[in-house]
Amino acid sequence: MSDQLLVFYGSYRSDRTGIRLADYAVRTLNLRGFKAELIDARALALPMLNRMYKEYAPGEAPEVMETLARKIRRADGFVFVTGEYNRGPQPGLKNLTDHFLEEWFWRPAGIVSYSAGRLGGTYAAEAWHATLSEMGMIVVSSRVSVGNLESTLDEHGQPLGDDGASLERAFKRFTDDLGWWVQAGRRQRDYRRPPF
């Protein structure tokens, strides 16, 4: 059985270059034997957070929220592809994530960041690390940071030149790390129920 991963992407911009990286992540994870699915915050169009999923009575949450909650609970792990806005995370992705809490518990997460600058979204990645840890996920130590998407991936998410080759090397280590934690987490959940 393939490990099920959800890949979250959060840009709401009309001209989104980060979708290249999200598509690359999904495709590459699937080629490496995972069963990865893209969750696009803009496509889901959740409202600004007013009520979390758990604050609805059973069966009363909006269908989009109910469907996503089921997917999150079934997943073995998560990948967050995040751009950096003014040294912070994208608000659309943060808003989607905040609609849920217990659904995330006891699974690993990995962070793939990007920005126009040479640091590749590392400030956003740092912010996400704290957020995801607070929400009950184990964040793997390997990260992928991309500083210039246009010189790294073409419009179809295919690697370009030296920057693309560097991404592929980093992404292999990232998926090896995430895959190890996904398998460890599943074995532990099968062995012993989480404490809460």
State pLDDT tens for residues 3-38: 999 999 999 998 999 999 999 999 999 999 999 999
Long-range contact set of residues 187-193: C-beta below 8 Å, sequence gap at least 24: 189/106
pLDDT score, position 49:
96
Segment 28-82, tens digit of pLDDT: 999 999 999 999 999 999 999 999 999 999 999 999 999 999 999 999 999 999 9
Q: How far apart are CA 178 and CA 196, in angstroms?
A: 23
Whether residue 133 is contained in a domain is answered as yes
**Residue 86's domain spans which residues?**
4-191
Q: What total number of domains does the chain contain? A: 1
- Which is nearest to 21 in space by CA: 105, 130, 133, 124? 124
Whether 196 is covered by a domain: the verdict is no
pLDDT score at 74: 96
Q: Backbone phi, then psi, for 87, in 5-degree steps?
A: 65, 15
**pLDDT digits 0-9 by tens, 154-183:** 999 999 999 999 999 999 999 999 999 999
Answer whether residue 130 shows pLDDT above 80.
yes
What's 27's domain CATH number? 3.40.50.360
Residue 47 belongs to a domain: yes
Predicted TM-score of the model (pTM): 0.96
* H-run or E-run covering 5: strand 4-9
Q: Specify whether the CB–CB gap between 84 and 18 falls below 8 A.
A: no
